[in-house]
Every structure is written in C-alpha cells, then in structure tokens.
C-alpha cells in the first residue's frame, strides 16, 4: 500500500474557501512567520471543515488530485518552507 505524506494548506490570501483533494490534512494558517500551530484536520464523513485557528473553510473536491488545492497557491510545501 502506498504511503502519502499529510498535505498541508495555507490561506495567506485570506480566501473565503479553499477546495482541496484530501479529507485529512494540516492547516498552517498563513505562510511563516504568520502561521498558526499546524493543526491536523480530519473531515471524516463530511465534505468540509473549518480550521479552529484561522476559520478557513476547506471543502473536499474529489476531482482534485490528492494534496492539490483550488487555488493551487494554497498548497504549502513543507519540504521547501
């Protein structure tokens, strides 16, 4: 079975909602140094979740690849941060 890293997303642009291709992910708020604690969010059976720190609404879009986002700028690359 393939292992995937947990995708991370941010809302530096202050968007009202971000569509993502994952139901389990981490929200970092805005890009550092303005980030909040990196919180793990699991949507479970739901198709959307709100970050308890920054109130970003994340909406699962099954048409997006795993770890992708709409807009694409909301993907946070932890390896190049």
State the average pLDDT over residues 36-57.
Answer: 97
How confident is the model at residue 4, as a pLDDT? 64
Distances (CA, A) of 79 to 6, 11, 14, 52: 12, 18, 23, 24
11 near 56, Cβ under 8 Å? yes
Q: Which of 26, 29, 25 is nearest to 15 (CA)?
A: 29
**pTM score:** 0.91
How confident is the model at residue 63, as a pLDDT? 98
Q: What are phi and psi of 61, to 5 degrees?
A: -120, 105
pLDDT in tens, 24-38: 999 999 999 999 999
Q: Strand 35-42 vs strand 75-76: parallel, antiparallel, or unpaired?
A: unpaired
């Amino acid at each position: 079975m393939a292992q995937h890293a947990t995708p991370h997303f941010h809302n530096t642009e202050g968007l009202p909602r971000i569509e993502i291709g994952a139901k389990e992910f981490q929200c970092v708020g805005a890009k550092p140094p303005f980030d909040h604690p990196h919180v793990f969010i699991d949507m479970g059976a739901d198709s959307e979740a709100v970050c308890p720190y920054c109130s970003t609404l994340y909406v699962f879009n099954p048409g997006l690849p795993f770890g992708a986002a709409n807009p694409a700028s909301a993907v946070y690359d932890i390896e190049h941060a």
